Amino acid sequence: MSAPTLAEVRNWPAVVNVDQAARALGLSRSKLYALIRQDTAPVRSIRYGTRVVIVTASLVRVLEAA
């Protein structure tokens, strides 16, 4: 599956799962989880119990800067 375009990401809901965010960033799911655990992820994450979601606005900012 190819990476989504910036225009597509802008139309995503307010938060997305780690799989979607990793694909948009060109990272593996495990790499993004590792960055989140190390508190060095380029995007803002929110933890809901055991679930982790990524704030789409932060993802858009990262992609715009690339």
pLDDT at 14: 98
Whether the Cβ atoms of residue 46 and residue 65 lie closer than 8 Å to each other = no
Give the start-to-end residue ranges of the domains of the chain.
6-65
Whether the Cβ atoms of residue 26 and residue 66 lie closer than 8 Å to each other = no
Measured between its terminal Cα atoms, the distance across the chain in Å is: 20
Q: Would you tell me which CATH number, out of the four given (1.20.1640, 1.10.287, 1.10.10, 1.10.3470), belongs to the domain 6-65?
A: 1.10.10
Cα(63)–Cα(50) distance, rounded to whole angstroms?
26
pLDDT digits over 5-24, tens only? 999 999 999 999 999 999 99
What is the four-CA torsion angle of 46, 51, 56, 57, rounded to 10 degrees? Answer: -10
Share of the chain above pLDDT 70, in %: 100
